[in-house]
Amino acid sequence: MEMYAYARVSARDQNLERQIAAFIEFGIEKQHIFTDKKSGKDFDRREYKRLMKKLKADDLLVVKSIDRLGRNYDQIIAEWSYITGTLGADILVLDMPLLDTRAKADTLVGKFISDIVLQVLSFVAENERENIRARQAEGIKIAKQNGVKFGRPPKIYSAEFLRIAEEYINKRISSLHAASLLGIKRENFYYHIRKLKQIFI
């Protein structure tokens, strides 16, 4: 049995050290820590793919938090099932100790925990989609009332972008933080925020 860890940040100027320090303190060797500086929108990441080639049955994969694994919850659910089911490895999320599959799935407790994890992630994913759809519908309604004509949009924004944009507009995160989460320059982020406001505000 080997222990591996995976760390991720969205932008090249963000720091991985806090995650790496937590893994070393947990007892994971540096050569078994894989890191990516890339958006979590999907699993098309070089180091993550290298890690998946090494991970095998009874190994343990450690991540600092669930969003370091990814941000697309449907894909997280599929990946979680692949790692714990197909590969037969275990996953531990340090910031949420309940997310620890080392209580094997062939025991009642282990199966219960695994099922709850997947159900919670499914709920979060569906709830996020519903909230985005509701906000988009409300924004379109207001825009139409203000005389905005809708044709084929020149830019389709991802669910992740819309969620982060809402966090920024509601002053819950800074523009610098928002841009870094999206892996774009702050000036580019401002440009797209202005475009969104023209439509929805």
Active site residues: 10
Block residue for tokens 């709920």: 123
Half-sphere exposure of 81 (CA within 13 A, CB side): 12
Give the residue ranges of DSSP H helices in the chain. Answer: 17-26, 46-54, 66-69, 73-81, 108-145, 159-169, 175-182, 186-200
Residue 161 is encoded by which pair of tokens? 């972008």
Q: Distance between CA atoms of 53 and 176, rounded to whole angstroms?
A: 35
Tokens of 37: 């500086």
DSSP 86: I
